[in-house]
């Protein structure tokens, strides 16, 4: 009996000690777990209180100034009719057809001036603009600049919302930007991305023919067909570029989009408003980026700058003393590392402007003084004598006495033939233009307008100064 009691007491004592040990170990284990996994780790993160970018201000302040642009192009089924064909078979009534397209635009002035892409409104016979408020206006094309793919249109309205221009030179790689436009007719679409590169060119994938000025902003903001002419804005809602192109094997966005920098756009539209055409300065050099071969041949310590392959006689560069094999490292106080950057800088000047240029020649730096010359007069430019520029030549309304002498009722006289397409096509001074692309003309403006609307070729019929029937033609590009 006594032994049994002792046994029971020992068992109870051991059970109590075991329970105490288990309880004490569990609390220590719990304490250890508490120090290793803090409840702070499971707090819900409030993104509004972090440093994540907030695009609401930029989007809301700019979206009302981005418009939808609808375009109608009316084309003729026949572009040229051989005069011998007309002699035997008579005139053929052209069959017209309409094509429709769309893009985007950005209001830059409250009185209705809107910037878009040249390729959006090129050859348009009708342009309509729809605001973000769904109001629709017919627009007039004020001017275009194929070299930069910029165009200016205008609607008759007042008090419109606008997007202010920013200095695109201040953009930094990795900076956030928004693309606003109407891809696939989805109006007022906003996408975000970063600046992937600056001073980009697009080479053979870009616009074909003629002068091209390319120094694009590359972004990864999603841009698709219909975004062309829309806004690229910074986080402050200011315009840093006009979306103009994508690089894609499918025709849809593949991660790369390109915009014309706002500094280029601002200069082009200012010229179109003030002068009706772009007054473009010309340096008169052929240039390239510096590759390993050039750097080795000229023993250059750096690849910064732009290599001069050649200098045109009598040009701005030649008169300033620039030479082949010079390396331009700055112009107008701005460093240039790529050919596209130099193009963009020169494009910011007007004919007659003066500035300085720093070059490296034979390992030494030299500062040259530049006075910019302009391009050959653009089609439609009126000279002091009243003649009108047309592909390097000059036109005027044929004088009454000349018409009477040749037995004509009306026409346009070529008063001089300079370097250009008319000279190459065989035009001569005194030639009277009677038809351009089968349409009768009586004044230079008729010739300019028909040529502007031509898609592929310009075909001219008339008589020589001796009254002999003649015709010639040439490609537009």
Active site residues: 119, 149, 228
- Using DSSP's 3-state secondary structure scheme, residue 393 falls into strand
Which residue do the tokens 């509004």 mark? 48
Distances (CA, A) of 437 to 312, 406, 455: 35, 22, 11
**Whether 316 contacts 341, CB under 8 Å:** no
Distances (CA, A) of 469 to 433, 434, 472: 10, 10, 11
Sheet strands (E) in 271-318: 281-282, 285-289, 306-311
The angle that helices 262-275 and 339-347 make with each other, rounded to 10 degrees, is: 30
**Whether 169 contacts 134, CB under 8 Å:** no
- Using DSSP's 3-state secondary structure scheme, residue 109 falls into coil
In DSSP notation, 245-259 reads: EE--SSSS--S-EEE
Q: How many residues does the chain have?
A: 477
For residues 319 and 313, what is the distance between their CA atoms, to the nearest angstrom?
A: 8
Nearest to 148, CA basis, from 285, 268, 284, 241: 268
Q: What is the torsional sign of CA 263, 64, 186, 184?
A: negative
Region of residue 373 (left: phi > 0; alpha: psi -120 to 50; beta: else):
beta
Radius of gyration of the chain (CA): 34
For residues 97 and 91, what is the distance between their CA atoms, to the nearest angstrom?
A: 19
For residues 363 and 284, what is the distance between their CA atoms, to the nearest angstrom?
A: 23
């Amino acid at each position: 009996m006594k032994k049994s009691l002792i046994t029971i007491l020992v068992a109870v004592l051991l059970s109590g000690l075991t329970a105490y040990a288990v309880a004490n170990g569990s609390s220590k284990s719990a304490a250890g777990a508490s120090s290793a996994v803090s409840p702070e780790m499971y707090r819900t993160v409030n993104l509004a209180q972090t440093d994540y970018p907030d695009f609401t201000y930029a989007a809301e302040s700019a979206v009302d100034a981005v418009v939808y642009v609808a375009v109608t192009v009316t084309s003729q089924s026949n572009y040229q009719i051989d005069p011998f064909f007309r002699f035997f078979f008579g005139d053929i009534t052209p069959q017209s057809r309409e094509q429709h397209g769309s893009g985007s635009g950005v209001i830059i002035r409250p009185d209705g001036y809107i910037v878009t892409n040249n390729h959006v409104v090129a050859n348009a016979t009708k342009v309509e603009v729809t605001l973000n408020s769904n109001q629709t206006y017919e627009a007039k094309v004020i001017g275009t600049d194929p070299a930069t793919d910029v165009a200016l249109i205008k609607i008759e309205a007042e008090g419109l919302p606008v997007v202010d221009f920013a200095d695109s030179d201040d953009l930094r790689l990795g900076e956030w930007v928004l693309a606003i436009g109407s891809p696939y007719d989805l109006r007022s679409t906003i996408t975000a991305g970063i600046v992937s590169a600056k001073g980009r060119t697009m080479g053979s994938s870009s616009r074909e023919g003629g002068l091209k000025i390319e120094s694009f902003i590359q972004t990864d903001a999603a841009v698709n067909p219909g975004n062309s002419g829309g806004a690229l804005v910074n986080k402050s809602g200011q315009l840093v570029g006009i979306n103009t192109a994508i690089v894609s094997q499918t025709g849809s966005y593949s991660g790369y989009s390109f915009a014309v920098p706002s500094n280029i756009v601002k200069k082009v539209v200012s010229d179109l408003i003030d002068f009706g055409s772009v007054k473009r300065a010309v340096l008169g050099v052929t240039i390239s980026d510096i590759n390993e071969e050039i750097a080795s041949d000229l023993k250059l310590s750096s690849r910064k700058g732009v290599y001069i392959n050649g200098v045109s006689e009598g040009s701005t560069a030649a008169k300033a003393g620039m030479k082949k094999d010079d390396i331009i490292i700055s112009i107008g106080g701005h460093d240039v590392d790529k050919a596209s950057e130099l193009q963009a800088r020169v494009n910011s000047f007007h004919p007659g402007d003066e500035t300085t240029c720093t070059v490296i020649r034979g390992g030494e730096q030299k500062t040259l003084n530049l006075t910019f010359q302009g391009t050959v007069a653009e089609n439609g430019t009126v000279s002091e004598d009243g003649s009108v520029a047309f592909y390097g030549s000059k036109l005027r309304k044929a004088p009454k006495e000349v018409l009477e002498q040749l037995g004509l009722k009306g026409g346009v006289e070529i008063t001089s033939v300079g370097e250009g397409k008319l000279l190459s096509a065989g035009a001569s001074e005194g030639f009277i233009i009677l038809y351009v692309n089968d349409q009768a003309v009586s004044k230079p403006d008729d010739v300019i307008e028909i040529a502007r609307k031509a898609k592929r070729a310009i075909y001219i019929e008339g008589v020589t100064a001796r009254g002999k029937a003649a015709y010639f033609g040439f490609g537009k590009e």
